[in-house]
Structure 1
Amino acid sequence: MRAVLVVNPKATTTSERSRDVLVRALRSEVDLSVRYTRRRGHATDLAREAAEEGVEVVVTLGGDGTVNEVVNGLMAAQPPTVPGAATPAERLPALATVPGGSTNVFARALGLPRDWPDGTSMILEGLRLGRYRTIGLGRADDRYFTFCAGFGVDAAVIHRVEQARRRGRVSTPALYFRSTVAQYFLGSDRRHPAISLERPGEAAEGELATVIIQNTAPWTYLGDREVNPNPEASFDLGLDVLALRQLRVASTTRTVTQFFSRTPDPHGRQVLRLHDVAEFTLVSARPQAFQLDGDYLGEREKVRFTSVPAALRVIC
C-alpha cells in the first residue's frame, strides 16, 4: 500500500524526534513518502498531487488547518481510475489524521485519542485491519470543511486569536476567553443584526447576529471539555445550524452556558436551530468575519453552504 505523509513542521505538539518515530511506525505498514508543508495552502497542493499519483492513503500530521487543506486537495484531485471503485469516495485516497495541533477537533470527533502516540497506534491498527468509515463534508462556496464554519462573532474571535499567536502568544483556553470577551464588548455591533439565512422553498430567517455551522459534534473543545451548540450534528447527516438573533448580555450568556452542559440543548427566543440541512445561504448587509475549521478566511457578505454526503473515507 502506498501512502503519503503530509507534515506541518510547525505542528504545536510534535517535535522532529517524534516525527521520526511516526515515520518509522508508518513505514512498518505502508510504502511511505514524506512531504513537508512550506506555506499556507501548500498541504492542498501536496494532497492533490498524491491523489493524482494514485496513492491509497494520505496521512496528516498537524492541526485542523492542515487537515482542512489536505481534504480540499483530495476533493479537487482527478485521481487515476481505481478498479472496483463504486463511489467517488472510493476513487480517492483514504485520509488518516495524526493529531499534532493544539485542539485537533476533527481527529477527536472521529474518536481518535488526543495525543499523537495513541492516535498513531489506532491509525496503524486501522491500516492493518482495513478499518475506515465514510463521512460527509460541508462546503462553503467552493471550499470544503470537515467539522465547522462560522459567520460572525466566532470567526472574529478566531481572527483575534490568530493575531495574538502571530505576536507570540500561546493558544490556550484563557486566550480564547479573553478574545471572546473583547470581541463581544468591543468588536461587535450588537444592536443591529445584519445576517439573513435563506433556504430553497422556505421563508428567509432575517435579523440574525451570528451563525455557527456544524458538520459534526462537538463544535470545539476547551481542554477536555466538549462545546456543543449543535449536539445532534453528525458526519452522517446534513449540516446543523445555530444562530443568535440578538447579542444581549443576559440571553447570550445563558445560551453559551448551555453549550457546556453535559446534556446540551441550546434554546430560547433568541436562538434559531436547524438540523440536517442540505443547503442554505447566509447573506449579510455588512461584511462578516468568516471561518472554516478554525481558520479565519477574511470577511464575506454572502456564503452558500451545502452538505456533501459520503464524500471521503477516513481511517479510524
Structure 2
Amino acid sequence: MISDQDAMVPRRVLVIHNPAAGQRRGRLLEMVVTGITGLGGRVTCRETRQSGDAEDFAAQASADDFDAVIAAGGDGTVNEVLNGLGAGKSGLALGVIPLGTANVLACEIGLDPDDVEQVARTVAFGPLRRIHVGLVNRRRFLLMAGAGLDAHVVAGVSTALKRRAGKLAYVVESLRQAVGYDYPKLTIRADGVEYEGRMVVACKGRFYGGPFIAAPDADLSSPMLELCILPNPGLAGMLRYGLALPLGKLPSLPEVRVVSARNILITGPRGAPVQGDGDIVARLPAEISIADETVELICP
C-alpha cells in the first residue's frame, strides 16, 4: 500500500551518516542536503564515529522533532538505522541517501544514486510504502540474510579495499575465499520442509549484490521470504553461480531452489557467520522469520 506525503509539506529529517565514507561521497551528501533544504525540507545531520552509532541515533529520534530518519550510506547503514527505529518505537519513516558500494535498496526502489535531484526530492516528498521486514536471530533486516560463502566473504572483505575498489573488493575476496573455503553442508528447514545447500539467502527484495536478481518474486511489501538455496560445493559451483547471477540466470538454474516461506531455521557449523543486508549480524544456528511490525519506507 502506498500512502502519499502531502506535496506541500516537505519533511523534517534526521540524516545519519559516516564522515569516513570518502570525499566523493561527502560531496554527494552535501549536494543532496542542499537540495532538500532548497525544497523547503528541514535537515539535521548526525555523524557516526563507530559501529552502533547509527542504530543509537535512530533509536533516540523523536516524532516530535522529525518525520523520518534517513540513512546516508550503504545498505549496512540502512540496516543499523532500521534496527534503531525498531528499538525506538517512534513510528518514524525510513529513507536512504545511497552512498554505499552496492546500494541494493536503491536498486530495489528505483532510486538512482547519481541523480542528486531525484534523491533530494524523494527524501523531501517521496511517497511512503509500508514494508514487511525480516528477522534473523531477532535482528531486523530489510533486504536479505544469508549463510555460507557469501557471509564468509562479507566477514573477510577489507573495509579499506572496499572504500578504494568498490564492488571489485567483493570479487577479490570471493575468489580468495573460494579457494580455501570447505563449503560445509547447511540444513534449511522452511515452514517445516527440509532442504540442503552449501549457501542460502533469505530474500525480502529481488536484488542481490547490486542490480542482480536472485529472487524474482520477492516483494518488500509482502509478509513472505523468498529462499534461494544453492546446493553445489567447490570452486566450480561458486563460479557457476557467480557467472549466472549478473546474467539474470541464477534462479533458473536447474539445481537452484527458490521457495517461499515465513519461518526458516538454518543449521550448519556452529558460530559460522550470517550476513544481513551486507553486514555480519548473526551466527549459526539462525532463525529467520517475518517481523510482526512493519516500517514505512520513503520511495521515489
- The answer to whether residue 32 in structure 2 is matched with residue 46 in structure 1 is no
> Could you tell me which residue of structure 2 aligns to residue 147 of structure 1?
143
> Could you tell me which residue of structure 1 aligns to residue 88 of structure 2?
77
Identify the range of structure 1 (12-21 vs 111-120) with the bigger mean alpha-carbon deviation.
12-21
- The answer to whether residue 119 in structure 2 is matched with residue 134 in structure 1 is no
Aligned partners of 1:122 and 1:169: how far apart in 2?
Answer: 27
Aligned partners of 1:168 and 1:144: how far apart in 2?
Answer: 24
Give the AA of the match of 1:253. L
What RMSD, in angstroms, separates the aligned Cα atoms of the two structures?
A: 2.5
Mapping of residues 111-190 of structure 1, within 5 Å: 111-115=110-114, 117-124=116-123, 127-128=124-125, 131-161=127-157, 164-166=158-160, 170-186=164-180, 188-190=181-183
The question of whether the paired residues in 2 share the 8 Å contact of 1:148 and 1:212 is answered with yes
Aligned partners of 1:20 and 1:297: how far apart in 2?
Answer: 30
Task: Compute the displacement of 1:252 (Å).
Answer: 4.2
- The answer to whether residue 41 in structure 2 is matched with residue 56 in structure 1 is no
The question of whether the paired residues in 1 share the 8 Å contact of 2:190 and 2:262 is answered with no
Aligned partners of 1:261 and 1:120: how far apart in 2?
Answer: 28
Q: Where does the alignment leave 5 or more consecutive residues of structure 1 unmatched?
A: 80-91
> Could you tell me which residue of structure 1 aligns to residue 7 of structure 2?
none
Task: Compute the displacement of 1:52 (Å).
Answer: 5.9
Q: TM-score, normalised by structure 2?
A: 0.85
> Could you tell me which residue of structure 1 aligns to residue 230 of structure 2?
244
> Could you tell me which residue of structure 1 aligns to residue 245 of structure 2?
259
Equivalent residue for 1:307, pick from 267, 280, 290: 290
Task: Compute the displacement of 1:216 (Å).
Answer: 0.3
Task: Compute the displacement of 1:281 (Å).
Answer: 0.9
Aligned residues: 287
Task: Compute the displacement of 1:296 (Å).
Answer: 2.5
Aligned partners of 1:262 and 1:167: how far apart in 2?
Answer: 27
- The answer to whether residue 20 in structure 2 is matched with residue 10 in structure 1 is yes
Q: Where does the alignment leave 5 or more consecutive residues of structure 2 unmatched?
A: 1-10
- The answer to whether residue 207 in structure 2 is matched with residue 218 in structure 1 is yes
Give the AA of the match of 2:205. T
In structure 2, relative to structure 1, the CA distance for the partners of 1:31 and 1:286 (3 Å cut) is: closer
- The answer to whether residue 79 in structure 2 is matched with residue 68 in structure 1 is yes
The question of whether the paired residues in 2 share the 8 Å contact of 1:283 and 1:303 is answered with yes
Corresponding residue SS for 2:268: strand
Aligned partners of 1:309 and 1:116: how far apart in 2?
Answer: 34
Q: TM-score, normalised by structure 1?
A: 0.81
Aligned partners of 1:110 and 1:183: how far apart in 2?
Answer: 31
> Could you tell me which residue of structure 2 aligns to residue 272 of structure 1?
257
> Could you tell me which residue of structure 2 aligns to residue 108 of structure 1?
107
Give the AA of the match of 1:219. Y
